[in-house]
Structure 1
Amino acid sequence: MAFDGLFLAALATELTDKLVNARIEKVFQPGRKKIVLLLRQPKKNYKLFLSAEPRRAGLFITDKEIINPKVPPSFCMLLRKQIEGGRIESFTQANLDRILSIKISPPGSIGLDDPLELIGEFMGKHSNIILVKKEKADTAILGSIIHVPVEKNRFRSLMPGERYCPPPEQGKNSPGDYTAMHALLTAYSRREENAAVKQGLVNLFQGLSTFSATILSLEAGINPDTRFKDLLPAEIAALAALLAATSEDIEEGRWTFSLLVNAEGKAAGFSCLKGAQNLKNLFTVKTYDSPSALLETFYAHREEEDKLAELSSYLKTLCARELKKVEKKREAIETELAAAARAAEDKIKGEILKAHLHQIKEGAASVTLANYFEAGSDPVLIELDPSLTPSQNVQKYFKRYKKALAAEKQLSKRLEETHAEQEYLKSVLLSIRDAAGYEDLLVIRKELAEEKYVKESGTAKTEKQPKMKPLRYLSADGIPIFVGRNNKQNDYLTLKLAGKNSLWLHAKDIPGSHVIVASSSPPEKTLYEAALLAAYYSRGRDSANVPVDYTAIKNVRKPKGAKAGMVIYSGQKTVYVTPAKEKIEAISLQE
């Protein structure tokens, strides 16, 4: 990405053209670090969105509906009191820094009052939105969207009532004419030994991010990682000419707004430099008419990525925690089973006591008797309860045996259930790994809620769930192959979609997707491709020679009460495949 001083300069130009003299009708705060100003111009209304979120810092004009909280936060209330009804006088950026000052004449002002300033500092994790007012020779802070006490920042405090102090200047240069640029670059190349060109440009010039410096380097035909001291005179001259041209573009407001999208369809960055158009061999480059439209699109991509990462992390943590609980439960059951397995000793002791009942004395605490049930064994020491009769001691051992026998059956059943739960949670983790987007994760969260692992909020319960279709491939022989993307889809594929003549596949003994081939006897090539898909969409994705079972769909059934995606099957055969990514990409994925 590149929300740098250059891009903010382009935004300031657009905002000045469209929003100067606009009346501030309403102020909203849709998020903890977001502000929206509803602005009125004679022929059109605008919404100006400002964000101090670290990964989405910036501002832009938007047409989208904004969902606001029922109770406005305190900073929003302050802005409503101070600037609603006021007018925007100007947008000012100093020295190509990532700081924009919006001067606002207060409501009811007749031009005699000092204007208020809404200052946006769009600097990553240090971003903030601050309302200030001139008071004599100082500028006082009325409020900020993020309070920064002196304990957090010794250089400057951003608290109500404090004097506003801008961030320290970095002593960098602004792009200028060719002669000045050439002199600067030449001097820098002589004193900096190891700085790469892209980093050197960032160190020298105000307003350039590493991304913009990389674009300028490439446009000049220079590898951005080349050391500055290794630049040839012709290369320094090319860079100086580009910087001079960039300076003219800034003065004239000539910009080219580009969104760069990578091979995975994700927004990789954006730029206002025309050189970004030269990156079409690396990215899909989309051109926009305005910086606001470009920035809004990029941040929408980033917000989707953040939502995806946040929900994915939450679901992974949840499943990992539940797996630990199940593992502890399994260990406890196995310990109890081991104890129950020793119940046979109680039966033998009971039989020995019964056979020697006449030799046992009343009130004895123990007795040593011959063991007739194991030939050649030594006499057995048997502990007794002195308060019981010999006959009662016999019954005591038999009762303990029967109780342990019953417990063993119950424990074995519980162990099976625990194992099934472990496999289920592992399969959910696999579905999270393979989730293609946010909607996939919503389906998984819904499934976990139905299985009582997640308690859904009122909003989540009423939230319309997306209907996600299984993946559909077409084999080299033209036969459809379906792959479930989560446990719900696995059930749907196996129990509803699959026809009676379908073939069912699954990676052997590990969590994975159900795969359905729309043929009971597919050609060898189709079977191989289906097995590749079953192995790839399983925990064996990164392994070699993954065993994949396949059987007729009629041999697959779901036990009563089993969790989503859990089935048993019979009559299977096994094929071994190595699911390399390039092999999967060679199979035709249908939209």
Structure 2
Amino acid sequence: MAFDGIVISNLVHELNNTILNSRISKISQPEKDEILLTFKGTKGSNRLLISVNASLPFMCLTKENKPAPLQAPTFCMVLRKHIANGRITKIYQPSFDRIIHLEIEHLNEMGDLSQKTLIIELMGKHSNIIFCDSDNTIINSIKHVSCLVSSLREVLPGRKYFMPNTQGDKIDPFKIKNSSEIFDVIHAKPLSVIKAIYTSFNGISPLIASEVCYRSGIDGDSSVSAFSDDTMQHVANTFFWFIEDLKNDKFQPCIVREKKAPIEFSSVNLLQYQDYNTTIYDSISEVLELFYKERNNHSRIRQKSHELRHIVTTALERNQKKLDLQTKQLKDTNKRDKFRIYGELINSYGYNLDPDARFLEAPNYYDNNKIIKIPLDPTMTPQENSKKYFDKYQKFKRTYEALTELIDETDHNIKHLQSILSSIDIATSAEDLVQIKEELIDFGYIKKHKNNKKNKIKSKPFHYVSSDGYDIYVGKNNYQNDQLTFKFATGNDWWFHAKGMPGSHVIVKSNNTELPDRVFEEAGSLAAYYSSGRENEKVEIDYLQKKNVKKPNSGAPGFVVYYTNYSLIAIPDISNLKKID
């Protein structure tokens, strides 16, 4: 992840435009390593969330108000004592590092004007929030660091604060005057170009170094020595122009997603991820809040759905193996008619057989009277041989009929499980998984406990609005699909589904009007996106009016039949559709 000097610079720029000269109206500490500051000023009220969690440090403006503990922690009480109602006078980033200073002006106990500094260090496991007096004496910190933890720097009340020397002899990129300075620095390093850049300049992450190389049109993993001086000068020029844009506050906060999962964020447009979905935002705080929320939510949903996914995939594999075995057994019954013909021909032509005959050669009146050779048991009479073949025929016939039913049942189970797996794939919250689990319980895939109570269902179908203002609903699971199609939709509403694959039911509320062509295309895109074919370039979609969709007797949830329908080819892209929360 790229919580680097560039993101910090973007955040400082945003804070200067929002909370500078505002007063601190509320201070809380929702978690042991997190504080929430509320500001009021001429630009309205703002909340600043600062987290120094070792695995997930971040800082952003937020609209969310987190509940505070009944007993405020010591650090929170110290902040309230000193800077409650204080005014933010300066916000800056020293040396383009991953550090933000908030200088605060307030009245002390004597009523005199005093200065304090709140220092936020966002440095991975070393992240901290340090509160200092005007002479850089540490008053307190959210994490105390003694000499037993670090021999380089103690962070304790009464000690002098100094910046951690994490960057060594790195150069502040904002102090570079021309591209020749960049060329001289990176050209002398016997490293890959990417590493030469991020090890030479403060606040530049490997991600940004890789982006510079991509924009320069070179392979950044190759050594500096592999390129000519002209090529390296071009890299230096690209980096210099890149930094100049940052100096002029030309930020483009963005999130890069692979499918639904956020994989990267930055304050600049990451052209190197052109094959992924990149969304540009107006605010870096919005990016940070969304990224961490989505990442946490995606991770949490994957963890919670892991058990359900395992149950479904195990049952699916078992049914697929069962289907393979049943299909092979069914193939063996194809010779049943041969035994019936043997029995009939023995009855017709076996009257003059020798008692010890081992074969009967007779014309097969089922095959243009071609001569057929029928094996016989010489210890049996012709009538007994005929009965033996008729018994075999009846046995294979019964097996065929039973296997045909079993194969239909197994195939139905496979399709049902595939539809449940598709529902798990599109789940976006823990509530979405509740209904899926209930379906697995109802169909015996999960054992039902006597003390289990029915959960109150909070999950609702997805709701979109088309470009022409029509409401479109998408079922998240089989129960919702049934509810949408047979209880929510009216006869003249339109029903969409991906052809021949698991997917959601999509309902367009027609309001008894004729739909524009664009609505059909957008509903088709939703049906394609919320199906197992969402990774395909195009998906065939069946659509028809809801009154022509029927529920088969004893059909599993989400299964329907229809006999007349229209078809269209849809692209599984819903980026232009408005989603209603």
Q: Does the pair score TM above 0.5?
A: yes
Matched, 1:325 2:329: no
How far apart, CA to CA, are the structure 1 residues paired with 2:580 and 2:54? 41
The alpha-carbon distance between structure 1 residues 177 and 410, as it changes in their structure 2 partners (threshold 3 A), is closer
Partner of 1:418: 410
- Say if 2:496 and 2:505, in contact at 8 Å, map to a contact too: yes
1:426/1:205 CA distance change after superposition, 3 Å: same
1:240 Cα shift?
10
CA distance 1:37–1:345, change in 2 (3 Å): same
Q: Which residues of structure 1 form unaligned runs of 5+?
A: 12-34, 40-46, 68-86, 88-92, 104-116, 120-130, 140-167, 247-256, 272-280
Compute the TM-score of the two structures, normalised by the length of structure 2.
0.58
Q: Residue 230 of structure 1 aligns to which amino acid in structure 2?
A: H
Residues 259, 269 of structure 1: 8 Å contact kept: yes
What RMSD over aligned residues (CA atoms) do the two structures have, in Å?
A: 6.2
Alignment correspondent of 1:2: 2
The answer to whether residue 554 in structure 2 is matched with residue 557 in structure 1 is: no
1:371 Cα deviation after fit: 3.0
Runs of 4+ in 1 over 6 A off after TM superposition: 5-11, 47-50, 57-60, 179-184, 212-215, 222-227, 231-235, 240-243, 262-265, 293-297, 456-463
- Which digits, 9 at most, give the CA deviation of each residue in 1:96-124, with x for residues without a partner? 97563989xxxxxxxxxxxxx976xxxxx
Q: Mapping of 1:42-61 within 5 angstroms?
A: 51=53, 53=55, 56=56
Tell me, yes or no, if structure 1 residue 398 matches structure 2 residue 399: no
Residue 344 of structure 1 deviates from its aligned partner by 1.5
CA contact (8 A) 2:465 2:577 kept: yes
Tell me the secondary structure at the aligned position of residue 502 of structure 2.
coil
Could you report, residue by residue, the CA deviation over 1:198-252 in whole angstroms, capped at 9, with x for unpaired residues? Answer: 754421146643457799x89xxx9687975336799869969999x99xxxxxx
| AA at the equivalent of 2:233 | K
2:200 matched to which residue of 1?
204
1:229 is paired with a residue of what secondary structure?
helix
Specify the SS of the correspondent of 1:334.
Answer: helix
Task: Determine whether 1:500 maps to 2:491.
Answer: yes
The equivalent residue for 2:138 is none
1:578 aligns with 2:572: no
Instruction: State the partner residue of 2:330.
Output: 337
Q: Could you say if the C-alpha distance between residues 232 and 493 of structure 1 is closer, same or farther in structure 2, counting changes exceeding 3 Å?
A: closer
Q: Which residue identity lines up with residue 411 of structure 1 in the other structure? A: L
Pick from 376, 380, 385 the counterpart of residue 382 of structure 1.
376
User: In the alignment, is the contact (CA less than 8 A) between 2:173 and 2:243 conserved in 1?
Assistant: no
CA distance in structure 1 between the partners assigned to 2:496 and 2:241 by the alignment = 63
Alignment check: 8 A CA contact 1:101 1:118 kept: no
Question: Aligned partners of 1:258, 1:535: CA distance in 2, in Å?
Answer: 31
Paired letter, 1:525? D
Same amino acid, percent of matched pairs: 24
Cα pair distance change 1:587/1:304, threshold 3 Å: closer
Deviates more, 1:299-308 or 1:490-499: 299-308
1:173 aligns with 2:148: no
Correspondence list, 1:156-235, <5 A: 172-173=169-170, 175=172, 178=175, 185=182, 187-192=184-189, 199-205=195-201, 208-210=204-206, 229-230=233-234
Q: Corresponding residue for 2:482?
A: 491
Report the CA distance between 1:286 and its aligned residue.
3.7
Residues 215 and 238, structure 2, Cα contact 8 Å, conserved in 1: no
| One-letter amino acid of the counterpart of residue 374, structure 2 | V
Q: Take 2:149 and 2:261, find their aligned partners in 1: how far apart are those partners?
A: 47
Supply the distance in 2 between the matched residues of 1:98 and 1:500 (Cα, whole angstroms).
57
Could you list the per-position Cα deviations for residues 436-465 of structure 1 after superposition, in whole angstroms to 9, with x for gaps in the alignment?
A: 555545544443444344568999977654
Q: Distance in 2 between matches of 1:97 and 1:527?
A: 49
Q: Provide closer, same or farther for how the CA distance between residues 341 and 472 of structure 1 changes in structure 2, counting only shifts above 3 A.
A: same
The 3 A distance-change label for structure 1 pair 393 and 195 is closer
Q: Could you say if the C-alpha distance between residues 294 and 118 of structure 1 is closer, same or farther in structure 2, counting changes exceeding 3 Å? A: farther
Report the equivalent of 2:504.
513
| 1:343 maps to amino acid | R
CA deviation profile, 1:16-55 (whole Å, cap 9, x unmatched): xxxxxxxxxxxxxxxxxxx95799xxxxxxx9977555xx
Aligned residue in 1 for 2:300? 307
Q: Which amino acid aligns with 1:395?
A: K
Paired with 2:576 and 2:127, the residues of 1 have a C-alpha distance of 53
Looking at structure 2, the residues matched to 332 and 237 of structure 1 have their Cα atoms a distance apart, in angstroms, of: 66
Alignment of 1:338-377 (within 5 A): 338-355=331-348, 367-371=358-362, 373-374=364-365, 375-377=369-371
In the TM superposition, residue 491 of structure 1 has moved relative to its aligned partner by 0.9
Segments of 5+ residues of structure 2 without an aligned counterpart are: 13-30, 36-48, 70-77, 79-118, 130-142, 154-164, 219-230, 268-277
**Deviations 1:467-507 (CA, angstroms, capped at 9, x unpaired):** 2124344474x654433333222111122112234343434
In structure 2, give the amino acid aligned to 1:2.
A
Q: Does 1:427 align with 2:427?
A: no
* Cα pair distance change 1:259/1:423, threshold 3 Å: same
- State the Cα deviation string for residues 530-565 of structure 1 (Å, max 9, x = none): 455445544555355825252x43433222332221
In structure 1, the residue matched to 2:84 is none
Residue 91 (structure 2) pairs with residue 100 (structure 1): no
- By how many angstroms is 1:306 displaced? 1.6
SS of equivalent to 1:371:
strand
Q: Tell me the secondary structure at the aligned position of residue 298 of structure 2.
A: helix
Question: Against the structure 1 CA distance between its residues 204 and 567, is the aligned structure 2 distance closer, same or farther, given a 3 Å change threshold?
Answer: same
Deviation, 1:302, is 2.4
Contact (CA 8 Å) 2:322, 2:410: kept in 1 or not?
yes
CA distance, structure 2, for counterparts of residue 6 and residue 354 of structure 1:
94
Distance 1:237 1:211 in 2: 17
- 1:269 positional shift: 3.6
Q: Which shifted more, 418-427 or 176-185? A: 176-185
Which shifted more, 537-546 or 300-309? 537-546
Q: Sort the Cα spacing of 1:52 and 1:578 in 2 relative to 1 into closer, same or farther, 3 A.
A: same
Residues 37 and 49 in structure 1, CA contact (< 8 A), matched pair in contact too: yes
The answer as to whether partners of 1:304 and 1:438 remain within 8 angstroms in 2 is no
Tell me, yes or no, if structure 1 residue 451 matches structure 2 residue 443. Answer: yes
Residue 334 of structure 2 aligns to which amino acid in structure 1? Answer: A
